[in-house]
Structure 1
Amino acid sequence: MKIIKVVFVLAFLTSCNFNKTSEEKAMLDVESLNAKEQEFSNVQNNQGELIGTIEFGIHANKDEVQDFEDGIIPWISIEKTKDEINRLIDADKVVITYSEIILIIDYPLNKPVEFIIKSSGKGFTKKQLVLEISKKYHEIYKVEESSAKTKTIPIEKREGIINRNETDGTYGIWGHDIGDLVLSSAEVYKMEDVKIQVLLGIES
């Protein structure tokens, strides 16, 4: 239940002993992960009335500006939100005028989760919303690691593609470490019961 815009980058581990067997395994991993991404993007959502779309972006620093000519990076890191939050564009702008929302997080999760988020004010600024989203993602990844029997393979020990292996914890995370994820947008829906749902545009 999200807006998914996946920029899927596969990085292969190369070495002098990367043989045909390793290559074949890597190709199978790629096919499997691509199928998972396609399956996820085809999920249909029961949405209410769309009442708002929020775009997220940060000001590029001097090292990044060469890759972003307009000086704007059209996303913010999920993992390093606190490091980038001072560069968030329109950080203090109120983007949701409701004090309670249902935040849907389902990517990259086999078992989606809903969080009820409350604001102490009359709504949520872009900064407040981003920090809440980042906080919940960190909680999800922490719980997943502690509850999974199949643990996350460290990057340096991964073979073929370096994407995160699927784990079998509370949420069943697959395909991406939290460091791969960035937030680019969100859509706000008013449901039939007048509750407000927020669906996230996550890129990886």
Structure 2
Amino acid sequence: MATKTSELLAAAAPRTVAVVRGIADDQLDLPTPCHDYSVRDLLNHLFQVVVNFQDLAAKRPVEWADKPDHLADGWRDRFEVETDRLVAAWSDPASLEGISTGMGMPQATVGGMALLDLTVHGWDLATATGQAYAPAPEATAALHELVEQLGATARKMGVFAEPVPTDPTVPDLHRLLGVTGRDPAWSAG
């Protein structure tokens, strides 16, 4: 069975998995567009998101304070496996019902947040490591509404930075990045 959320995650996941697979060990200490996050830090964060959002789909509690290092031997393969599990977790229609006990918001919104992290952090990691990144167009389109909905609260909580103005004629991804407080023209140099 599939849900709209799992279909969007399934479209977005391979693109981010490809970026993660393309990260060389000597790139782990590079800066990223996420201030205060190196590539290593952001990979560990994204790993935690992918694992925790599986539990959130099943309405189980999660622990965000623990910051395990997921980058042990075989981490690229494990990231792909965990991402597949994330898609499967959100394939159950029950995953979208009700309010998340772990996040205090509608489950459908929580599922969208997993999609947002996969998409935006996929770009962050690709940009930091000099890789090309093309998001799933259907995911990017769906995320604009979610980011507008979450924007003010996410900025108050420090999840998003202040918006970066973008021209309305730039690609959807660049507008999405701008709303989350990222400069689409960011470079490590």
> TM-score w.r.t. structure 1 length?
0.25
Q: Looking at CA atoms only, which structure, 1 or 2, has the larger radius of gyration?
A: 1
Identify the structure with bigger relative contact order (alpha carbons < 8 Å, sequence gap 6+).
1
> TM-score w.r.t. structure 2 length?
0.26
